[in-house]
Chain A
Amino acid sequence: MPALRGVTFELPPGDVLLVVGPSGSGKSTLALAIAGLIPRDVPATLTGRLTVDGQDPSTAADVGLVFQDPSSQLVMERVEDDVAFGLENRAWDPAAMHERVPTALAQVGLDGFERRRARRLSGGQRQRLALAGVLAPAPGLLVLDEPTANLDPSGATAFMAELVRRRQARDTTMVLIEHRVELAWPLADQVLAIDATGAVIDIGPPAGVLARSRATMATAGIWLPDDGLRTKRAGRRGGQAPGRTAPSAHATPGPAVVTATDLRFGYDRADPVVRDVTLAIGAGERVALVGPNGSGKSTLARLLVGLLRPAAGAVRLLGDDPARLSPAALARRAGFVFQEPERQFLATTVLDEVRLGLPSAHHGAAEALMERLRLPLATFGPRSPYRLSGGEQRRLSLACGLVRDPALLVLDEPTFGQDRLGYEGLLEILNERLAAGAAMLAATHDQHFVRDACSRVIELDEGWIAPSADGAVPSADGAVPSADGAVP
């Protein structure tokens, strides 16, 4: 079955093409093909004709490709060496390289970072470094495959601002794949919408595509530019409807499920990652843990379920120290979803993965849950977890964390890579679990999820709980840049 079918478009110089589609629809395949890596590096059959500036991209190398994860494209230890890498590969003259590298860094706001080590930069800085490396050889076409997926809101905004500047200058032709629709749609001159089977739904100027194919795109699970406002309304409606509990800041939480007292943790004793954190999460409460990349969110999440032992302070999960519980007892009380799904897989098939360590009494529940998460075991059971798309991997890891119906759910970036159907399905399942008395802590960059699913926000900043932020969920108005009016 082809990953993509019947894709035809022509992009004039300086224009921006936005590619949208549900998870697993072949967007990344298109990006790799345009960059000339299919079929050169990734074995596949390509029919039809693909040219960039009239040339075959697999030999011309005039295309720059930015990936989702900066760690798979930063090669060198130091910033300047990494920017120079692409120039070296194109045999630039050394003198010209030494002139070009600082310019490319300045273009992405990293001037003065030449001698720094790439590993020490924040996620947002690393992604901008990757962009500088790709821009340095001045490619005729820039392909960006979900470049802000791993970035916190401020990192994503800074990155997108750079793209806006390029769009206004009309000096770079771009193909952009991006889930943050409210940032991406205003940039687009053309939108290409693909459905789950890789067939084209529509292509054309954004206003026209939205007018013609809004319903088809919504059914296919594609995020639309005004979705941020719509899901909020849906959430409000749900709050009044019986059977679905919407988040409310005023709901009185039940008895504490997990408490942390003066929690401190550091890989390096002089520089703790989590500093003097005190918090309590009650039954039915849904807490969003927000903060920039590297602020200690993932570490705090792991401390709360005893996967890490604090250097000082105490954690109590239903009265016990989770680090001292037996694995079986811990698994009954807490479910945990790791930030990167691939790094938590322990089995060779999807069926074995979701059943791992699971008492056979729960096997029925596992099957039903997988069905609801659109990973029916009849189809997905025998597959390898590593062969799933990013969005599917995330849903499998969610199933593994939710299947035992634990009292505490700790979710690290639960909505990562989810299209609209995956997002709404997850929200529904979480709503049921929380209404039944489970407590949730979700470390997230997704401001929609914070508004739609959380009743309280805890903001971490360099390991401290930010004093003003332990409170209500920000309102829909102004919290997320709205795409209204920005779409031509």
Chain B
Amino acid sequence: MSLAARLEVADPQLDSLLGRVSPVLKVGIALVWLVALAFTTSVVAPLLLAAGALAAGLVLGAVPLAAIGRTLAPLAVAAAAVGLSNAVFAAANVDPEATELLTIGPLRITVEAVAAGAAIAARLTAIASLGAVVTLTTDSTRLADALVQQARVSPRFAYGALAAYQAIPRFSEDLATLRQARRIRGLRGSWHPRLLLGLLVLAIRHGDRLALGMDARGFGLGQRSHYRVVRWGWRDVLVGGGSVAILWLAMQAAGVAGR
């Protein structure tokens, strides 16, 4: 139940500026930012991008702070863990020329290693923030519509993926039922590997039925029309321009900080 609710994007977010921007543009912005992040080792740039994405989500996307917090909390923990392990297990720690920061027992932590770990954690934070804002303001149906109409993705792929996405809550119910079925049959181990096979069979069968259901409604007969026409508009220009400006600022700031 709660999983189904979590997959839904609420109306205020969908009616916001970011909600009405083309989903293809949002995915495009995310890709450009990701590529740019790959070219910087700075800590400042990713954090600025994360702040930019979150501010846009809160102000232009009408996303409640609590929703962002809930989505980001596990990702932030993951980013911190990855950053920390990179700092502890970095090659720089055994490089005798690296500057020593502290030693804990047999562990020697160097400044270079901490910097590398922090950079990785910062980049993960930026990616997570960006992803959270995009998903919290994007309706799955609109994403599929935009992919087909603006990015020329094949309808079979886009709407097939959409139907599969709708079925995600079903899989968690399938798993719960299979685990209960084991218990009532007197079997121990509610995480037995056999469950995966059962889940796979159910997923395939549901997929088959859904494909049949879609074809029964005339899917794939030929030319399709669109109930919701997605067109580029002034909002896309505004948000696209803004994203370039934030990226440029972040890169400048990284350059200044690096000097």
Contacts and interface: CB of A to CB of B under 8 A. Distances in A.
Interface of A: 32, 35, 37, 40-42, 61, 64-65, 67, 69, 71-78, 80-81, 84-94, 97-98, 101, 117, 119, 133-134, 137, 267-268, 302, 305, 307-308, 326-328, 330-332, 334-336, 338, 340, 342-346, 356-358, 386, 400-401
Contacts of A77: 8, 139-141, 162, 166
A95 B141 CA distance: 19
A90 B220 CA distance: 9
A75 B2 contact: no
Contacts of B184: 305, 307, 327, 330-331, 334-336, 401
B221 interface: yes
Contacts of B226: 88, 94
A483 B252 CA distance: 81
Contact of B141 (A69, A78, A137): A78
A69 B210 CA distance: 10
A55 to B, nearest CB: 13
B157 to A, nearest CB: 14
Interface of B: 1-2, 4-5, 8, 139-141, 159, 162-163, 166, 169-170, 173-174, 177-178, 180-188, 194-195, 198, 201-202, 205-206, 209-229
Contacts of A331: 184-186
> Chain A interface secondary structure, helix, strand, loop or mixed?
mixed
Contacts of B178: 343-344, 346
Given A307-B180, A331-B184, A343 B162 contact: no
Contacts of A72: 206, 209-210, 212-213
A346 B206 contact: no
Contacts of B228: 81
A309 to B, nearest CB: 12
Given A77-B139, A91-B224, A357-B186, A134 B210 contact: no
A84 B227 contact: yes
Given A308-B180, A340-B177, A401-B184, 7 more contacts: A41-B211, A73-B214, A73-B216, A88-B226, A89-B217, A97-B227, A331-B185
A174 B136 CA distance: 44
Contacts of B220: 89
A137 B218 CA distance: 10
A302 B4 contact: no
A386 B212 contact: no
A91 B225 contact: yes
A65 B215 CA distance: 10
A343 B223 contact: no
Given A37-B215, A89-B221, A94 B229 contact: yes
A345 B181 CA distance: 8
Contacts of B214: 73, 75, 85
Nearest to A266: B1
Contacts of B209: 67, 69, 72
Given A89-B217, A91-B223, A307 B183 contact: yes
A121 to B, nearest CB: 12
Contacts of B162: 75-77
A132 B231 CA distance: 28
Contacts of B218: 61, 86, 89-90, 137
Contacts of A91: 222-225
A330 B183 contact: yes
A92 B225 contact: yes
A483 B254 CA distance: 80
B187 A357 contact: yes
Contacts of B194: 346
Contacts of B163: 75
Which residue among A91, A97, A330 has the maximum number of chain B CB atoms within 10 Å of its CB? A91
21 contacts: A32-B212, A37-B216, A41-B212, A61-B221, A67-B216, A75-B162, A80-B227, A89-B219, A91-B222, A91-B225, A133-B217, A134-B217, A267-B1, A328-B188, A336-B184, A343-B174, A344-B177, A346-B182, A356-B185, A358-B186, A401-B184
A409 B185 CA distance: 13
Contacts of B217: 64, 73, 75, 85-86, 89, 133-134
A81 B212 contact: no
Contacts of A117: 8
A303 to B, nearest CB: 11
Contacts of B181: 338, 343-346
B242 to A, nearest CB: 28
B201 A400 contact: no
B188 A327 contact: yes
A89 B224 CA distance: 5
B221 A67 contact: no
Contacts of A61: 218, 221
Nearest to B167: A71
Contacts of B139: 77
Contacts of B229: 94
Max chain B C-beta neighbours (<10 A), residue from A73, A77, A119, A133 = A77
B70 to A, nearest CB: 15
B124 to A, nearest CB: 30
B13 to A, nearest CB: 14
Contacts of A338: 177, 180-181
Contacts of B202: 342-343
Nearest to A136: B217
B186 A65 contact: no
Contacts of A119: 4, 166, 169
A84 B222 CA distance: 16
B227 A94 contact: yes
